[in-house]
Structure 1
Amino acid sequence: MKRKILATTFFLASACLTAPVSAANPEHLTRLFQERECRGCDLSGANLRFFDLSNTDLRDAFLESADLRGANLSGARLVAANLTNANLTGVNFSNADLQGAILSNSLLFGANLAGANLANVRLTNANLIDTNLISAEWNNYYWQNNQLNEIGSENLTRANLSGLNLAGADLSRIDLRGADLSNSNLRDANFQHSDLRNADLRNANLTQADFDGADIEGALLCGAIKPNGKRIDC
């Protein structure tokens, strides 16, 4: 027991020494580390770089401007969590539940969202360069009716979106250069004025998709079903 207490004390002390001054509630940080549960907690601006927060309960938590670079949040429950302006570079969100989470203006460079539940997630102005979204669950209603790109500048450069069901998704005016959309269902998707240069669209279903004003130079289209319903021969 003493060893456990000492280990926890050392862990918390280390966190305090490495963390910059922030608005995060110290009691909430202690609760998070000791109980691995902090539902509705104020962790705004917290320095949680490289921490193992896998399977933690952070539902409704406030994590605005938090530094979570390299953290492990696999399997975490982040339903309705607010991660606005958070640095999420390299975060492992695999199989995490992010339903209704706010990721606006966040930096998701190289993050792993494979298998994550992203229903109704808000990604306005988020940067998803090199993000892995394989098998992530999306709610098409959000893409269509919640202005994913109303403000614009979403960056999905080199994002891995292969095999996703994005039928009817509004992906207009988004940077998708080099993105992997192979084997995805993109039927009725809106790509107006998007940048799809060098994107991988092999074997994707593009039936009735709208590419008006889109740049598809260098895109891989082998085996894809064109908007007119005909398959492209390799």
Structure 2
Amino acid sequence: MKSSFAVLFGAIAAAGLVTTVLAANPDQVQQLINTRQCEGCILTGAVLYSYDLSAANLKEANLTSAALQGSNLNYAILTNSKLEKANLGLVKLREADLSGANLAGASLLGADLTDANLTGANLQGAVLEGADLRRADLRGANLQKANLLKARMAGVKLEGAILKGARMPDGREAK
């Protein structure tokens, strides 16, 4: 009986039907709130609506599926951070460093990314509708299938960016 259960569980795991659940470390959430220093922290699924986290150091932090809607992350360091499927709607990210960050499937609806560094960032499938990207550096970024409808993009650097299938500010689809 034991061996057949192990075989069944192994087959289910191999099929990708079992996932590892990571949750935000409460001590690290409190550390971020108190000190704004949380390099490499695990903040998966953290709920931090409307917090002032300006100039926070979140380099290489895992913020997958985190809810940061309305928070202030101006000047924050998010280099190589994981922000897949994060809710960053209306977040202030002016002059933030998001170089190399993974924002695949993230919602940045109406976010302020003025002068942000997004070089080499993965924004595949991200929602940037109505976002302010003026003077942002998106060189080498992956914007495939991203929604940029009504985004403000004056002065954006897009050299080497992948835009295939992206919905551009004027509504057309990039080829």
TM-score of the superposed pair, with normalisation by structure 2:
0.81
Gaps of 5+ in 2: 1-21
1:34-73 to 2 correspondence within 5 Å?
A: 34-73=34-73
| Offset of residue 169 of structure 1 | 4.1
| Offset of residue 178 of structure 1 | 2.8
Could you tell me how far apart the structure 2 residues matched to 1:108 and 1:65 are?
A: 12
Q: Deviations over 1:45-104 (max 9, x none)?
A: 011000000001000101010000000000000001100010110000000011101100
Q: Over the residues paired in the alignment, what is the CA RMSD in angstroms?
A: 1.9
Q: Deviations over 1:185-210 (max 9, x none)?
A: xxxxxxxxxx16xxxxxxxxxxxxxx
Gaps of 5+ in 1: 1-21, 180-194, 197-210, 215-234
1:20-35 to 2 correspondence within 5 Å?
A: 23-35=23-35
Q: Cα 1:167–1:26, aligned 2, differ >3 Å: closer, same or farther?
A: closer
Could you tell me how far apart the structure 2 residues matched to 1:165 and 1:37 are?
A: 29
- 1:75 alignment counterpart: 75
- 2:125 alignment counterpart: 125
Which letter does structure 2 place at the counterpart of 1:103? L
- 1:9 alignment counterpart: none
SS in 2 for 1:40: coil
| Offset of residue 176 of structure 1 | 1.3
Could you tell me how far apart the structure 2 residues matched to 1:168 and 1:63 are?
A: 26
| Offset of residue 172 of structure 1 | 2.9
Percent of aligned pairs sharing the same letter: 38
SS in 1 for 2:86: coil
| TM superposition outliers: structure 1 runs of 4+ over 3 Å | 167-170
Aligned residues: 154
Q: Deviations over 1:99-155 (max 9, x none)?
A: 10110010010000001111111001101100110011122xx24xxx542xxx311
1:1-234 to 2 correspondence within 5 Å?
A: 23-139=23-139, 142-143=140-141, 148-149=143-144, 153-167=145-159, 169-178=161-170, 195=172
Which letter does structure 2 place at the counterpart of 1:110? G
**Higher relative contact order (CA closer than 8 Å, sequence separation 6+):** 2
| Offset of residue 177 of structure 1 | 4.2
Which letter does structure 1 place at the counterpart of 2:165? R
Structure ID, larger Rg: 1
TM-score of the superposed pair, with normalisation by structure 1:
0.62
Could you tell me how far apart the structure 2 residues matched to 1:158 and 1:31 are?
A: 36
Which letter does structure 2 place at the counterpart of 1:31? Q
